[in-house]
Amino acid sequence: NLPLGENQWQSTDVPLDGKSAITHWRVLKNIQHNNTQLSLLELKPKTGRYRQLRRHMAKIHGCPLVGDTVFAKGIEKGNNRYLGLFLCSSAVRFEHPCYGASSDIVERNRNAAARLSSDGSSGRVTFRSKGDRLMVEASIELPRHFADM
């Protein structure tokens, strides 16, 4: 359980493996589960270090992710470690590694995204130009066991 107010963005800027590692995070809500106080978080890594989110939360803040059997050693929260790792990515945004933002490429990808959105799935993919770069954004609805918390 993190003692901060809900929805206040915090930053962790602690190097991992000798490289910069930055994570922005906030508490969405605090919940009680199996007589243990837990916090539902939104995490936004600004760098992509190996196991960055898990390492920052467990080692820096002393609040491991539920089900983390690697970095929660000695600070497990009761029987909650047997629920599996409670880590889910619901959205990603990145620069397309192969294509610039020519209008032809953006339009083709928008058409593909429209076909994906119309198939009844709960996900969304968008493509947009940002200067001469093609940005890809994808999101899904949170799995029920996260959304219901």
pLDDT score of 23: 95
What pLDDT digit, counting tens, does each position of 133-147 carry? 888 888 888 777 666
pLDDT for residue 59 is more than 90: no
Task: Report the distance separating Cα 9 and Cα 120, nearest Å.
Answer: 33
Residue tagged 């929660």 (tokens):
72
What pLDDT digit, counting tens, does each position of 5-56 carry? 667 899 999 999 999 999 999 988 888 877 777 888 899 999 989 999 999 9
Task: Report the distance separating Cα 147 and Cα 149, nearest Å.
Answer: 6
Among 84, 78, 91, smallest CA distance to 125 is for 91
Q: What pTM did the predictor assign?
A: 0.69
Among 2, 84, 83, 82, smallest CA distance to 42 is for 2
